[in-house]
DNA sequence: CGTATCATTGAGCTTAGTCAAAAAGTGTGG
DNA sequence: CCACACTTTTTGACTAAGCTCAATGATACG
């Protein structure tokens, strides 16, 4: 199945009939909220398998991003009957599902970052690694700033400004609007809103102390004494 | 395995030896960033299966939240050998993996919301549904405001303010600090930073136009003409 | 009844969103 | 080959929302 830019692969709400794999090109899974905002929840690159989340109907719409994107479809019923008889196939099916899980976890980690610069920086590292198959310091962005914005839950302007800022701070460079070179990987990975590193402000100081204290306190008592709603 | 508040179920970086299921109680999977900030990427309630993401070693730490949380462990090797011979088990294993995927997708949708009030509101609906097994209007929060904050990537203060604000707007009520009643479900689901609804500002007006135009333009030409890096 | 933790509220500051417009690519047809 | 139309990207000014720091209640536990 060869797709053009923006072509729908499957629609939200339609029954799950196939499993899909991106052979080449780029695609996205997304929802459009009632307020018209689009949220991309999964960015699909060559080799990625997708579209088996819900057993009933699709929770998201899938679209090709780049012209010429090729997507392979496997009939669900056939794949599952084969999996029933061949456990190696069943194993592979599971592996593919885990691949999707991994992508979603990565996105959650990126979305959890505080500043736009961190999000965009983490996204670049993530994308570079996925495209190259290993950590790399050059990326050719297969998607527009708009797509990045909808993927990171930021506005386009903020994405653009974050990129400019990263460039000004010599953390990345551009060899073209969509060609990025990562200069200072460490600055992205350990980046901290206030620039300082290694202070361990909150989790250790305030929150972990609770768990730690309790762990040491009650370790000898074994499995606790009370459960009442509200934890401790 | 009966756990106390804050007890580690498995540690980040350790090999994956078991699959886990929450029998009763509540648990969390999280990472602690270099800056000390904790990010919860998965909230685990009774019945949830977890801990099979990476095949090598765990990417996250798992901890019990409430005293008396009971977690069952299934040796990975045994489960997999059984799955190899029994395809029904293999099928179930896949179902469980899909359950995790669903939770992650839900979180991404929540994190993608713009305002704190929307995030917290969506979280309440999500939690109510998971706890009751169906959409419900009463929730007893099994976790603290701190946990909510780390789950939604907000500060505790903002979570607290969002709850107060939802209460002031008669969208929720409290019958206790951790007991919430949802009064106006619609106000949460369609909530919009500016209060207006149904305008479809951006995706339709600016972005979709691109895809739509191209779809109509090139639909008859079939699989496109150019692919060059950078798409359109 | 102290002593933690958990929860709420206030003041000031930083950051991202919004609105608006200009600049830089990209492809098309004359 | 160049001018035009369109999209993508960047930048500016202003506004609004969340984070930080700080302090004050509320609640559970020993």
Residue–nucleotide distance: A116 CA to C15 C1' (Å): 9
Determine the protein residue whose CA lies at the shortest distance from the C1' of D29.
A232
**CA-based nearest distance A66→chain B, Å:** 5
Which residue is closest to A38 within chain B, CA to CA?
B203
Which of B128, B222, B106 has its CA nearest to residue B172? B128
**pLDDT tens digits for range A122-170:** 999 999 999 999 999 999 999 999 999 999 999 999 999 999 999 999 9
Q: How far is A173 from chain B (nearest CA, A)?
A: 17
Say yes or no for a CB contact (<8 Å) between A6 and B66: no
B:6-45 residues touching chain A, CB 8 A cutoff: 6-8, 25, 31-32, 34-39, 41
> Does A140 touch chain B if contact means CB atoms closer than 8 Å?
yes
Q: Where are the alpha helices (DSSP H) in chain A?
A: 76-85, 87-111, 116-132, 145-152, 156-168, 185-189, 209-218
Q: Is the CB of B7 under 7 A from strand D?
A: no
How much is the pTM? 0.85
Q: What is the pLDDT of residue B49?
A: 94
Backbone region of residue B38 per phi and psi (left: phi > 0; alpha: psi in -120 to 50; beta: other values):
beta
- What are the CB-based long-range contacts (under 8 Å, 24+) for A109-113? A109/B31, A109/B39, A109/B41, A110/A152, A111/A152, A111/A153, A111/B108, A111/B111, A111/B112, A111/B153, A112/B39, A112/B41, A112/B111, A112/B153, A113/B153
B15 close to B76: Cβ distance less than 8 angstroms: no
A63 at interface of B, judged by CB pairs closer than 8 A? yes
What Å value separates CA B133 and C1' C16?
A: 37
Structure confidence at residue B86 as a pLDDT band (50, 70, 90): confident
Q: Is the CB of A94 under 7 A from strand C?
A: no
Asked if B98 lies within 8 A of A205 by C-beta distance, the reply is no
Banded model confidence at residue B55, pLDDT cuts 50, 70, 90 = low
R_g of chain B, CA atoms, integer Å: 22
DSSP 8-state code for residue A34: T
Tell me: the pLDDT tens digits for A9-25? 999 999 999 999 999 99
Out of A5, A142, A230, name the one closest to residue B214 (CB): A5
* Strand C within 7 A of A153 CB: yes
Cα dihedral B38, A60, B52, A23 in deg (nearest 10):
-120
């Amino acid at each position: 199945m060869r797709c053009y830019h923006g072509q729908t692969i499957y629609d939200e709400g339609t029954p799950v009939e196939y499993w899909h794999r991106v052979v080449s090109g780029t695609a996205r899974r997304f929802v459009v909220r009632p307020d018209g905002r689009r949220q991309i929840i999964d960015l699909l690159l060559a080799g990625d398998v997708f579209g088996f989340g819900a057993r009933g109907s699709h929770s998201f719409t899938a679209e090709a991003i780049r012209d010429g994107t090729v997507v392979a479809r496997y009939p669900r019923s056939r794949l599952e009957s084969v999996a029933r008889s061949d456990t190696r196939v069943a194993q592979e099916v599971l592996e593919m599902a885990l691949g999707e899980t991994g992508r979603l976890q990565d996105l959650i980690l990126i979305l959890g970052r505080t500043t736009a610069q961190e999000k965009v920086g983490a996204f670049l590292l993530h994308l570079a690694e996925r495209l190259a198959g290993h950590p790399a310091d050059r990326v050719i962005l297969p998607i527009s700033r708009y797509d990045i914005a909808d993927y990171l839950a930021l506005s386009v302007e903020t994405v653009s400004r974050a990129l400019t800022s990263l460039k000004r701070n010599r953390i990345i460079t551009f060899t073209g609007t969509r060609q990025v070179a990562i200069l200072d990987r460490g600055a992205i990975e350990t980046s901290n809103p206030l620039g300082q590193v290694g202070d361990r402000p909150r989790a250790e100081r305030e929150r972990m102390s609770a768990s730690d204290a309790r762990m040491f306190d009650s370790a000898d008592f074994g499995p606790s004494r009370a459960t009442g709603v509200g934890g401790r």
